[in-house]
Structure 1
Amino acid sequence: MLIFWKARLVLLSMPKTGTTALEAAFGPHADAAIHNPPGLKHMGPAKWRQSLAPVFERRGKRPLETMALVREPVDWLGSWWRYRAREGLRGQPNSTEGVGFDPFVEGWLSDAPPPHADVGQQSRFLRGGVDHLFRYERFDAALAFLNARLGLEVAPDRLNVSPEAEAALSPALNARLRRERAEEFALWDGAG
């Protein structure tokens, strides 16, 4: 999470949406940055407004706008699946090594996801709404917004990239995902 107090903007750090690259590039220009613990770094808008906004906004006298990125749900899940298959997680309960993409998504859809599929939901992360929501697939628009808002010309490197692997869902599971998690697709559809 990056807080640009002078520009009155907070970059919320939704996992697997390129915010690590934005944080690395824009971090030196931020007035405050939260990198750890992960629960604070990946704070959604509701928690931001409840816990940190009062401190930075001077009890509402200087409100800060929020921005975040959201990723197409199948692509977002695929990124998690690939990320958790990396060698550094081998043998850990949250590793997806040896787990196919369909079983990963089935686990994610369950009421009690197994550790390897327990990655949360974008719609829950963004509960409470943000002022500026960009599609990960239009990263250039988010970057242009940040640069314009901060008066900069920063170009981030690609960081924290998931390993390459084919993440294709069976048609039946794709239909089930869209039916059971319609709010995830509606969120992405509504982003700029």
Structure 2
Amino acid sequence: MLVFWKARLVLLAVPKTGTTALEAALLPHADAAILNPPDKKHVTARRWRNQLAPFFENRGTRRMETMAVIREPLDWLGSWYRYRARPEIAGSETSTAGIGFDAFVEGWLSDPEPEFARVGRPSRFVSDGDGKIIVDHLFRYEALDKAVAFLEARLSVRLDLPRRNVSPKAPLALDPALEARLRREAAADFRLWEQLG
């Protein structure tokens, strides 16, 4: 999460959406940053609004706006799956090594999720407790250039994004019946992404 106090803007870091690269490019321009540990770096919109915004939004100043990047849900899940299959975490309870993509998605749809599939939901990341979107500026990961253009204009900077935290490539296929179930049960996530088109 990066805070740009003078520009009254906060970049919320939705996991697996290119925010690590944005953070690397923008860190020199930020007034405050939470980069680690991961559960603090990935501050949700709700946590920002309830816990951190009052610290930065001094009495008499205008509210700080938030922005985030959202990825197509199936692609986002695929990125998580591949990321958790990397050799350095093999054998841990978060590893997907030896687990098929279908099993990962089924795990993500379970309640509670097994540890290897506990990655959150983008729709919840950007919403309040009632499911209302509370992020001011949302951009598609697939059109990251629009987010970059917004940031360049808002912060009066030129950005050159490095490639960071990229998941390993691997072919993924999902059983059609499971994909239909995913689209039903994660309808809020698909709807959110589609609305950004």
TM-score (norm 2): 0.95
Cα drift, residue 55 of structure 1: 1.0
Q: Would you say 1:184 and 2:177 are equivalent positions?
A: no
Cα drift, residue 62 of structure 1: 2.8
Matches of 1:115 and 1:97 in 2, distance apart? Answer: 13
Q: Which runs of 4+ in 1 moved over 6 A?
A: none
User: Which one-letter code corresponds to 1:157 in the other structure?
Assistant: P
User: Which one-letter code corresponds to 1:156 in the other structure?
Assistant: L
Matches of 2:60 and 2:52 in 1, distance apart? Answer: 11
Matches of 1:170 and 1:80 in 2, distance apart? Answer: 18
Q: Percent identity?
A: 64
Matches of 1:60 and 1:104 in 2, distance apart? Answer: 48
Q: Would you say 1:100 and 2:112 are equivalent positions?
A: no
Matches of 1:119 and 1:184 in 2, distance apart? Answer: 13
Matches of 1:57 and 1:88 in 2, distance apart? Answer: 41
Cα drift, residue 170 of structure 1: 1.3
Which residue number in structure 1 is paired with residue 91 of structure 2?
A: 91
Count of aligned positions: 192
Matches of 2:173 and 2:63 in 1, distance apart? Answer: 42
Q: Which runs of 5+ in 2 are unaligned?
A: 129-133
Matches of 2:44 and 2:172 in 1, distance apart? Answer: 27
Q: Would you say 1:134 and 2:162 are equivalent positions?
A: no
CA contact (8 A) 1:27 1:33 kept: yes
User: Which one-letter code corresponds to 2:55 in the other structure?
Assistant: V
Which residue number in structure 1 is paired with residue 151 of structure 2?
A: 146
Cα drift, residue 9 of structure 1: 0.4
SS at match of 1:189: helix
Which residue number in structure 2 is paired with residue 120 of structure 1?
A: 120
Which residue number in structure 1 is paired with residue 80 of structure 2?
A: 80
Matches of 1:125 and 1:74 in 2, distance apart? Answer: 16
Matches of 1:140 and 1:55 in 2, distance apart? Answer: 31
User: Which one-letter code corresponds to 1:43 in the other structure?
Assistant: V
**What is the CA RMSD across the aligned residues, in angstroms?**
1.0
Q: Would you say 1:32 and 2:32 are equivalent positions?
A: yes
CA contact (8 A) 1:4 1:10 kept: yes
The structure 2 residue matched to 1:167, chosen from 127, 151, 172, is 172
CA contact (8 A) 1:54 1:60 kept: no
User: Which one-letter code corresponds to 1:76 in the other structure?
Assistant: W
Cα drift, residue 46 of structure 1: 1.0
Which residue number in structure 1 is paired with residue 14 of structure 2?
A: 14
User: Which one-letter code corresponds to 1:141 in the other structure?
Assistant: K
TM-score (norm 1): 0.97
Matches of 2:187 and 2:60 in 1, distance apart? Answer: 34
